[in-house]
Amino acid sequence: MSTRNKKKSNTSVSGLDLFGVKHPEASKLFGKKFATGASISKTAEGKEQIDMQGDFVGPLAELILKTWGASHGIEKPAIYVVTGKTKTPFFGGGGDGGGEEAQP
């Protein structure tokens, strides 16, 4: 998650393509589920990511597991939070939750 204009924030998701999830499908689902703008953009490395307006970290991680977990092999240890340059497991390795940005 990143902050813009003091109180507004963005949530970005990347790496879903590594599990065979199509970004347009995921972007559309996220936009409808969270009633927000969700768009596909390129990172500085040239990889695609989904950017959303708002802070949806907790519900987003749960939605990813519920929607694609079993069918695409996404498990709790595969979901990380990236804050600045720090990457930590979203589910804390023990499945307890918490974090700011879901990045499978």
Residue 44: CATH number of its domain: 3.30.780.10
Closest CA to 101 of 26, 19, 1: 1
State the residue range of the domain holding 42.
2-89
Give the total number of structural domains in the chain. 1
CA of 101: how far to CAs of 9, 43, 63, in Å?
Answer: 11, 15, 13
pLDDT of 74-94, one tens digit each?
A: 999 999 988 888 999 998 764
Q: Rounded to 5 degrees, what angle do the CA atoms 17, 86, 42 make?
A: 35
Whether 49 is covered by a domain: the verdict is: yes
Q: Rounded to 5 degrees, what angle do the CA atoms 49, 51, 54 make?
A: 150
Whether 99 is covered by a domain: the verdict is: no
Using CB atoms within 10 Å of the CB of residue 35, give its burial: 0 to 12 exposed, 13 to 18 middle, 19+ buried. exposed
pLDDT of 60-78, one tens digit each?
A: 999 999 999 999 999 999 9
pTM: 0.78
